[in-house]
Amino acid sequence: MHVLTILDHPDPKSFSSAVAGQFCAGAESLGHTTELVDLHAEGFDPRWSMEDVEGDASGRVPPDIKAEQDRIARADAIGFVFPLFWWGMPAMTKGWVDRVWSWGWAYDQLEDPNKSLQKPRTGVLLVPAGARSDEMDEKGYTSALETAWIAGTFGYFGFASRELILLNGSKGSDARRKALLDRAYQAGATLKAPD
């Protein structure tokens, strides 16, 4: 398979960057080809603009968006790596989803709001989070994210199998962080082909 990884972190030495590296290494251990999209290093512009509005209407997407869509077209699986910010996505990832998954390319909501125009792909979200998992479960954040992202956003895009892997305690001890990095490697090394 060809595995695309979308990384959202400005610091190449960050934990999130290490998570993306481990995920790619795991995928490569299975013989998959990988491509890393480092959104900050590449200077992706996450702002949804008039160009995007006009692109939705005309079907001519802006050139930076076309480049991202071409990358997706080559991929059988996509991994997303972004830190949990305010119980949601950081602005860069949010803007990438808003802009790249454009109307008429990702969806045709006039016919069926739940029907993707995309082929099925495998989707994995690797999300470092400062909070502990029991805190998140207890307060309902984990189930809220499962609903919004797995049932919602990533389901609408047509990911056949899709998994949210919360890397809780990402600011914890070295041992904790090592275990989370191993989890990211395993996620790459156990990737399944789309259904």
Q: What value does the CA radius of gyration of the chain take, rounded to a whole number of Å?
A: 16
Among residues 87, 137, 138, 139, which is the contact residue for ligand FMN, using CB under 6 A? 87
Q: Residue 169 — left, alpha, or beta (φ > 0 → left; ψ -120 to 50 → alpha)? A: left
* Alpha-carbon span 6 to 58, nearest angstrom: 27
Residues contacting ligand FMN: total by CB under 6 A: 15
170 sits near ligand FMN (criterion: CB under 6 A) = yes
Taking the least distance from each CB to ligand FMN, the nearer of 86 and 174 is 86
The three-state secondary structure class of 124 is strand
Q: Shortest approach of ligand FMN to residue 179 CB, angstroms?
A: 15
Q: Shortest approach of ligand FMN to residue 3 CB, angstroms?
A: 20
6 sits near ligand FMN (criterion: CB under 6 A) = no
39 sits near ligand FMN (criterion: CB under 6 A) = no
128 sits near ligand FMN (criterion: CB under 6 A) = yes
Q: Which residues contact 97 (CB under 8 A, 6 or more apart)?
A: 89, 153
130 sits near ligand FMN (criterion: CB under 6 A) = yes
Neighbours of 70 (CB within 10 A): 9
With contact defined as beta carbons under 8 Å apart, do 76 and 127 qualify? no
The residues of the shown chain that bind ligand FMN, judged by CB under 6 A, are 9, 14-16, 83-87, 128-131, 170-171
